[in-house]
Structure 1
Amino acid sequence: MAEKRTMIDRERIRKALRARTFIVCAVIAGLVLACGLFLINCDDSQQVDLSTVLEQVQSGKVWTAKVVDAERRIEITTVDKKRFHSYWSEHGNQGVALIDELTKAQLPGGYSVEVPKSWW
């Protein structure tokens, strides 16, 4: 009877250790995932006025640009690797004028335009 009892106790201890190990691993994996997502979403660009962005584009200081149409946002990277972003208003045709300026400037790294996809 004593042998049977010690076997049951050992089995319980093994199960408890497995459960504890699983919980610890799950918590560590969650923390690593949360920290990774936080670091990925870190935006290191500085927000400036649209006039500042246009001035940078016209003066030839911009290496690349990205226009996000859905957010009415432009992101630029200058020749000296500084990053800026700006927004334009929904009134008027500032987005079209911005694209025209980017086309005229012929950026060394080029520019891209993100247009939202239609689900229809």
Structure 2
Amino acid sequence: MGKKSFFSSFGFAAEGIRYAMTTQRNMKVHGLAALIVIVAAAVLQVSTMRWLFLLLAITLVLTAEMFNTALEAVVDLVSSDIHPLAKIAKDTAAGAVLLTAAFAVVVGIVVFYRPLVELFGG
């Protein structure tokens, strides 16, 4: 594996991220939510540890959404017919995204609860 193929792999990865962000509605929603959370964390000056949890949650959700997109593409490539196993694969991948998004919501509540209470005088 030469330098060219090593550096090319970053380009391919960037293309995958671009594809997901520009074509997948849920990826756009998650990306917007991530941007809002990042801005809110900066404005509220959350601690380094809280930043780490927020960034972990954001990364997990975006990664799960990209795996879901990849799996759906492979299933569609392999099976043009509606098949019960294809449905199971797609539904399970979507469930993984839902679980990571639920985790992200819990992280957001834990991270932002105290700073928001302090901001609004509770």
TM-score w.r.t. the length of structure 2 is 0.28
Greater relative contact order, per chain length (Cα 8 Å cut-off, separation 6+)? 2
Which structure features the higher share of strand residues? 1
User: Which protein shows a greater Rg?
Assistant: 1
More helix by share: 2
